[in-house]
Amino acid sequence: MDALDIVANLQHVIPYYQAIFSADEHRVIGYEVLGRYKSGEHVHSLGPFFHDETIPEEFRLEVDETVTKKALDHFLAIDDCSTLIFLNRDANLLMLDRAESFLKLLFQYEEKGLPLDRIVLEINEQHFKGDFSQLSHLLMYIRTYGIQIALDNIGEHSSNLERISLLAPDILKIDLRELRKTSISYSYQDVLYSISLLARKIGATLLYEDIEASFQLQYAWRNGGRYYQGYYLAEPSPNLLPSDFLKERLRQECHHFIQQEKKKLQTLYNISEQFQQRVTTLLAKYKKATDFNELISFLAAELGDACFRVYICDEDGFQQSANIFKRNDTWELQPEYYMKNWSWRPYFLENIIRMRSRRRGILSDLYADIETGETIRTYSYPIDERHYLFIDLSYSYLFEHDAHY
């Protein structure tokens, strides 16, 4: 499509609406407004038009405003006071007049009865080329009118967590397209996990987009997603949907996710309980060991079916034994690890306090081992008030016992 043809035929520029669903009520809570161009029987996306920087700015702004006006007229006509309206804007164009034209347009519709707290301004921080501090101040000003801010396509490329934190969005839209790739690595999921932790810290809601399969919806549900969007749920359409369009289907799918998650958690609990009993018995059996190195050698021989590394630390994280490490089915002592400190590791001291207070062992979440790169879990156990046993479980053992995900 030629840009001049589009600008000369604005009557053919129309809005499409892609529904956004909630995890808590399983209903439609809002729509993202998307630009389309109708040519005869064909409808074309205006995405390439809006993203083409060779097209004059005034052309893109005019078409954007046309789409927005037609969409807001539609929302006013149906007299729906609850659904959110997600409006995409290029942050670079928004900064040209400090969002004056954008806000002027919204104020016109506020006078017609459209509350501004229904508007969500959606931008892509990765495409912004200006001063982020100025953009941050502008977004803060826009937010004073009750308008929410959403950052789009988080996770699509390398996202800058510092910039995200600076812009302090209300909503983070996390792109799940990468999950469809067969070569997807745990590192990508770790990036998404980091983003979800940041969202929690800054008080942002997670909206997972580009959901095109059930497993992506399950990932979004398991990883703190409050809102969901994608072709698996609803394709963009010129019409709005009933708010309970997918209510029963989403309820059933979430019930299935809940059952699977409970099964997984029960599996992890059972493994933790088995190690609790097993280690308790072994420590009683080898209570006369002369030192910690001898003790971990005895334990490694007994636990060789499950682990590849055993060591002991004190309550401050200083290692009180060597490592005993399994290499090619042979256990070897690594004395160079004696007195290394591990208190810098996330949750280390927190888990020490938990073990001390509960007098029970703890099974960690999945993580990548620094030295081997293998995905593992660690079982930690309080030997006494000051010393704690750490047993690194191999991926093969976790896989065999369905504890590898």
Per-residue pLDDT of the chain (405 residues; tens, 9 = 90+): 789 999 999 999 999 999 999 999 999 999 999 999 999 889 999 999 999 999 999 999 999 999 999 999 999 998 767 899 999 999 999 999 999 999 999 999 999 999 999 999 999 888 888 899 999 999 999 999 999 999 998 876 556 788 888 899 999 999 888 777 655 556 677 778 888 888 988 999 999 999 999 999 999 999 999 999 999 999 999 999 999 999 999 999 999 999 999 999 999 999 999 999 999 999 999 999 999 999 999 999 999 999 999 999 999 999 999 999 999 999 999 999 999 999 998 889 999 999 999 999 999 998 889 899 899 999 999 999 999 999 999 999 999 998 877
Q: Which of 90, 168, 74 lies closest to 122 in space, CA to CA?
A: 90
Cα 16 from Cα 235, distance rounded (Å) = 10
Write the single-letter amino acid at 186.
Y
Superfamily of domain 3-233: EAL domain (3.20.20.450)
CA 84, CA 316: separation in Å to the nearest integer?
A: 50
Amino acid making up residue 270: N
> What is the number of H-type helices and E-type strands within the chain?
13, 16
- Domain regions of the chain by residue span: 3-233, 260-400
In contact, 317 and 348? CB cutoff 8 Å: yes
DSSP secondary structure code for residue 20 in this structure:
E
Is residue 57 within 8 Å of residue 96, measured between CB atoms?
yes
Going by the DSSP 8-state scheme, the letter that residue 317 receives in this structure is S
Residue ranges in 9-131 assigned as alpha helix (H): 47-51, 57-77, 91-94, 100-111
**Domain spanning 260-400 has what CATH number?**
3.30.450.20
Total-model pTM: 0.88
318 forms beta bridges with 341
- Which amino acid, 390? F
What are the angstrom distances between the C-alpha of 59 and each of 8, 86, 206, 269?
Answer: 10, 21, 33, 60
